Amino acid sequence: MKRPLVRAKLDYPFEAPACDGSVVEVAPGILWARMPMPMALDHINVYLVKDASGWILVDTGLNTQASRDLWEHIAASHLEGLPIQGLICTHMHYDHAGLAKWLCERFDIPLYMTHGEYFMLRALSQPTPDPLPPSQLSFYQRAGMPDDRIERMWQTMRKDPFTPPEPRSFVRLREKDHLQIGERDWEIKIGQGHSPEHACLYCAKDQILIAGDQLLPRISSNVLVTSIEPEANPLALWLSSLVALEALAPNTLILPSHQQVFKGLHARTQELQAHHADQFEQITEFLNEKPGSSAFETMRHLFPRLLSPVDDMLALGETIAHLSWMRYEGLVHRSLDAAGVNRFQLTQQKPAQAIERLNIRQFQNQYA
């Protein structure tokens, strides 16, 4: 039975800036700007935080000339004649860190990132092999993806036009670090599941969270299993990161990396938990009807529309993430068939019990 999804009621106190170098002040000394992206998700939010004698940037936009031009415009127009003094990248995805090298060199500033994000950025900026190495090929074959579709996906992925040049040094951010920026003290809160060591910044006194991709108002962040770490359980990390965010003040002003600045922390975390619970239920029903399905077949059920090569990578990774969570919870059993494809069966454990746990706070005890 499908759980009725109740849309969270969120407040959006500000009109979003256009992707034209304009800014919106969301709190004294905090500016919100947008960089364009040539894809369905057509923008990323970036923030500028005023320090005692300059500005700290949070996230960069993609490595494009349009983003570079907008940064030049913002630096010349909105910073009260003060210099840019540092760059914080919440995580390594190319819309967040794609211009890290350019900004650091252009404004001669340090880059602040977590260890996990910085080195993942450097690792992924290495040339992508062709053909697909056997260890990675077998990940997709085990998922039951047809060879022509694997090839189509890989050829698209390896030509990512936004792969950025790698910044050569960084200042490390850690969980519970405190950064004093201007009058505000910001605590670093690490989230996992979407990326390895994602930094959020929380100002407890003013109840402001610079959330990166850890909490978006209307879209759910990608949580993927990929060929790099085939046995990962990123949804367990993601769901426990959501619970950690629930400890923040309920009325926190959330500055996300996409869509609009909002309030409604708990409504949104619970909506996201319900979203994943719904995915688990859909998978349970599918495997009940079609026991022994592959991850690819499960993906086709969850995402029935035609998928582009990039969608294939995201949808398969997302499907395997849900299957892996269910497997580690003991809800699903995985076995390799004679053709080398993993087949998934429901176990005897009652799925409802594990899924119900999503909607209560027991995650904290289980995973924190």
- Cβ at position 37, least distance to Zn ion in Å: 12
Q: Which stretch binds Zn ion (CB under 5 A): 90-98, 127-135, 167-175, 296-304?
A: 90-98
Question: Bridge partners of 210?
Answer: 201, 255
Contact between 117 and Zn ion (CB under 5 A)? Answer: no
Taking CB under 5 A as the binding criterion, the range among 7-15, 57-65, 180-188, 212-220 that sits at the site for Zn ion is: 212-220
- The answer to whether residues 261 and 343 touch, using CB atoms and an 8 Å cutoff, is no
Only one of the segments 51-59, 213-221, 301-309, 325-333 lies at the binding site for Zn ion (rule: CB under 5 A); that segment is 213-221
Q: How far is the CB of 294 from Zn ion (least distance, A)?
A: 27
In whole angstroms, the minimum distance from the beta carbon of 240 to Zn ion comes to: 18
**Comparison of 114 and 284: residue with beta carbon closer to Zn ion:** 114
Q: Which tokens is 17 given?
A: 């800036």
> Which listed range, 113-121, 126-134, 206-214, 248-256, lies at the site for Zn ion (CB under 5 A)?
206-214
Nearest residue (CB) to Zn ion, 51 versus 213: 213
For residues 214 and 252, which CB has a smaller minimum distance to Zn ion in the complex?
214
- Pick the closest to residue 12 from 283, 233, 216, 282 (CA basis): 216
What is the three-class DSSP state of 337? coil
Q: Which lies closer to Zn ion via its Cβ, residue 86 or residue 98?
A: 98
Structure tokens at 44: 């990323």
Give residues with Cβ within 8 angstroms of 61, minimum separation 6. Answer: 35, 36, 37, 44, 46, 67, 70, 71, 95, 98, 99
In angstroms, rounded to a whole number, what is the distance separating the alpha carbons of residues 339 and 341? 6
Question: Concatenated DSSP letters for 4-42?
Answer: PPPPP--B--SPPPPSSS--EEEETTEEEEEEE-SSSS-
Report in angstroms how near the CB of residue 57 gets to Zn ion at its nearest. Answer: 17
Task: Out of 59, 213, 297, 318, name the contact with Zn ion by CB under 5 A.
Answer: 213
Residue written as token pair 């086709």: 300
Measured from the CB atom, is 79 or 314 closer to Zn ion?
314
CA distances from 306 to 128, 196, 309, 315 (A): 26, 30, 10, 11
Q: Which member of 68, 93, 184, 276 binds Zn ion (CB under 5 A)?
A: 93
Choices 85-93, 247-255, 323-331, 334-342; region in contact with Zn ion by CB under 5 A = 85-93
List of residues contacting Zn ion (CB under 5 A):
93, 213
